[in-house]
Amino acid sequence: MANDEPGERLLDGAVPADWWPWRDPDDPAVNRLGAQYDAMTTRRDVSTDPAREPGLFNPQRYAGGLVLLSGFPTFLGAPLAMNTADLKAGKVDAALVGLTVDDNPVPGARYAANEMRTLRDWMSFPPGGTDQYLGVDWGSLRVADYGNIASYANQNERSLEEIHKVISEILAADTIPIGVGGTHIQSYSYVTALARKYGPGQIMLVHVDAHVDTYVADLGRTVHNGSFLRVAVDKGILKGDDLVQVGLRGQGPGEANLAWLRENKVRTHFQAEADTIGWENALKRVLSEVKGRMVYLSFDVDAISPAYAPGVGTQDPDGMTAAQALQLVRTLAINSEIVAADFIEYNPLMDDAHQTTGVLVDRLIRSLLAGIAARRQGITDPFYIDPRRLDYNS
Ligand SMILES: [Mn+2]
């Protein structure tokens, strides 16, 4: 099997040099000791692997067994894909891919992807399931597990180039990448990969988060999980008014950051707005802002109240409920064409013994898939509810 690497071709020479600010040749912090420097992200030699046709590989022995107990742990029990050719041959609608960068001061998000594959949750059946709001089975979509993306522990910016490559591999198959795990710095590479495929200014980013993530570079770092959106907008990779933020609260932004957000026309939806005009009214504003546009949904789990999602690295009291988070994801997927998504900042080391946060992230992913399936089946009202869920059978 040849290792199909369109991502590499997309990266080489195709991205403006200043999109990777840590590659500044004048920066003495950039280590250039040779091949070992890139060993973590060097692809395995597959030239001696047994030949196989491109397509999905299902590693599950049993048709209905719990993946955790009797199968190989994969996201949602999905079959595996290794490269763009597999995604194309398998006509994959959405590829779940593990993200492992861990640049939150509270470490642990690097373990989230594999934790999600091994949830002690009886719903870990092979792909499919009927959404109990929409009455739609997302098993109509083809979903694959695309493995994890390598990262360099404690060299977080360096990991972004590999994420850009792998997300580009998925986008090259017209498959929706759904990133799982890691911290928010990684979304910088989603923005670059989407801008590379569609051109800057084509994609709207719905950024669900307690925090604006538009803080200036600090602590000796250029791009980090609190600054990546500032860098992306300042470099013109993402237009400010294509950025919609939902769930903002906590101890920032301050006046200078707020002024930057206003100058750049970022559409900020604070928790205070939802508390004042009502959640559903605030949600309708968000949906109208992205109606008719292609959307990248980046969901920082700390947007949700710690009462429902305690397993995060940057906890802030208050925030949306689990039901509101599920509704947000479901309505957004019906309202707009989702071209990419990630669910990040889940920290299993901070979760409870029942994996409450992990199970909620699992349900958010399922809700996203159900919403996408509903849209493809012709449902256009984002607030659609299956009428059978509203009568009393009386
Ligand atoms: Mn964030």
- List domains and CATH numbers for the chain: 6-389 (3.40.800.10)
DSSP H helices in the chain: 6-11, 67-70, 84-89, 112-117, 156-172, 187-198, 228-234, 255-263, 271-277, 279-290, 322-335, 356-376
Per-residue model confidence (pLDDT) at position 30: 55
The alpha carbon of 184 and the centre of ligand 1 are apart by a number of angstroms equal to 5
Cα torsion 19, 23, 25, 28 to 10°: value is 140
Write out pLDDT tens, residues 158-180.
899 999 999 999 999 999 999 99
Distance of alpha carbon 191 from alpha carbon 141, whole angstroms: 25
The alpha carbon of 213 and the centre of ligand 1 are apart by a number of angstroms equal to 6
The alpha carbon of 379 and the centre of ligand 1 are apart by a number of angstroms equal to 31
Q: Which DSSP string corresponds to 191-247?
A: HHHHHHHH-TTSEEEEEE-SS---PPP-TT-SS-TTTHHHHHHHTTSS-GGGEEEEE
The alpha carbon of 171 and the centre of ligand 1 are apart by a number of angstroms equal to 23
The alpha carbon of 48 and the centre of ligand 1 are apart by a number of angstroms equal to 42
Q: Is a pLDDT exceeding 80 seen at residue 71?
A: yes
Per-residue model confidence (pLDDT) at position 209: 98
The alpha carbon of 138 and the centre of ligand 1 are apart by a number of angstroms equal to 28
The alpha carbon of 258 and the centre of ligand 1 are apart by a number of angstroms equal to 16
The b-or-e profile of 146-180 (16+ CB within 10 A means b, else e) is bbbbbbbeeebbbbbbbbbbbbbbbbbbebbbbbb
Distances (CA, A) of 58 to 73, 77, 151: 11, 9, 26
71: CB partners within 8 A, 6+ apart: 59, 60, 61, 62, 65, 77
The alpha carbon of 37 and the centre of ligand 1 are apart by a number of angstroms equal to 28
CA diameter of the chain: 74
User: Sign of the C-alpha dihedral, residues 305, 213, 247, 141?
Assistant: negative
Q: How does the average pLDDT of the chain come out, rounded?
A: 90
The alpha carbon of 349 and the centre of ligand 1 are apart by a number of angstroms equal to 18
Write out pLDDT tens, residues 20-68.
666 655 655 555 556 677 788 889 999 999 999 999 999 988 877 677 7
pTM recorded for the entire structure? 0.92
Average pLDDT over residues 214-229: 83
The alpha carbon of 314 and the centre of ligand 1 are apart by a number of angstroms equal to 9
Query: Per the omega criterion (within 30 degrees of 0), is the bond before 16 cis?
Result: no
Q: Is a pLDDT exceeding 50 seen at residue 181?
A: yes
DSSP letter assigned to residue 88? H
Environment of ion ligand 1 (residues, CB < 5 A): 184, 209, 213, 300
Write out pLDDT tens, residues 297-341.
999 999 999 999 999 999 999 999 999 999 999 999 999 999 999
Q: State the amino acid at position 65 in one-letter form.
A: G
Q: Which DSSP string corresponds to 90-124?
A: TT-SEEEEE-----SSS--GGGHHHHHHT---TT-
Q: Which two tokens stand for residue 187?
A: 């979304």
Average pLDDT over residues 137-151: 96
> Other C-beta atoms within 10 Å of 243: how many?
25
The alpha carbon of 299 and the centre of ligand 1 are apart by a number of angstroms equal to 8
The alpha carbon of 341 and the centre of ligand 1 are apart by a number of angstroms equal to 14
**Helix 279-290 crosses helix 322-335 at what angle (to 10 degrees)?**
30
For a pLDDT cut of 70, what percent of the chain falls above it? 89
The alpha carbon of 112 and the centre of ligand 1 are apart by a number of angstroms equal to 15
| Contact call for residues 83 and 169 (beta carbons, < 8 A) | yes
Write out pLDDT tens, residues 257-283.
999 999 999 999 999 999 999 999 999
Q: Is a pLDDT exceeding 60 seen at residue 8?
A: no
Per-residue model confidence (pLDDT) at position 219: 62
